[in-house]
A and B are shown apart, each in its own frame.
Chain A
């Protein structure tokens, strides 16, 4: 909640604690601001998925471009068709 809409990055520590506490997939949400934030929450936060709103709605990050950057950073993603 503290990061919602702030584009200041996901709380990777909180996401990781949740991911290590449960056996089911975890979606990180709150704070997405850049491709680097996604790379960090997948690598350091161990998230299975990452959710964002502001950056997609307001055109700050394009999903196709984001996926290209994730792929280049060796994060496995499905390419846009």
Chain B
């Protein structure tokens, strides 16, 4: 298996009403730290023209939002793989579904009761026909993300990968996604993933 050099070409962080791309603040609001008003405001500010967004659960909205910012102006193919992870799975929507069971179950809520639905929504939005995986870990695990992504790249399963962390628990959200490809300046390593994630969380 040949090993080509890969780089963290772009990265995005979304946390505490702020969006950072490549360590630069591109959006912040003082309005409301609650996740739903934030996701609605950002949709308008970022200029996403994707009506299906409004039907999604908050985890998928975060995924669409983060990847839209991340992949803007990036040269990505439809074979770009997705390797996401989080700690709370789809708990936020699972609880809403549990509450709705007391009355008439909502199909629109039920379809989002799996964490990997966000991978499907992102794939549909960007026309990806690629490998994808969603890992549940207690905390962001740069080693796991690096090793799985590296395997996909070096085995030629994908020419590029969007990977990272997309956590949503109650009203708190923490997203860190990277676009890994052959272009860029920051070498794709476990250490750099860790450093950039920690920087986003300072």
Q: Do A and B come from one complex?
A: no
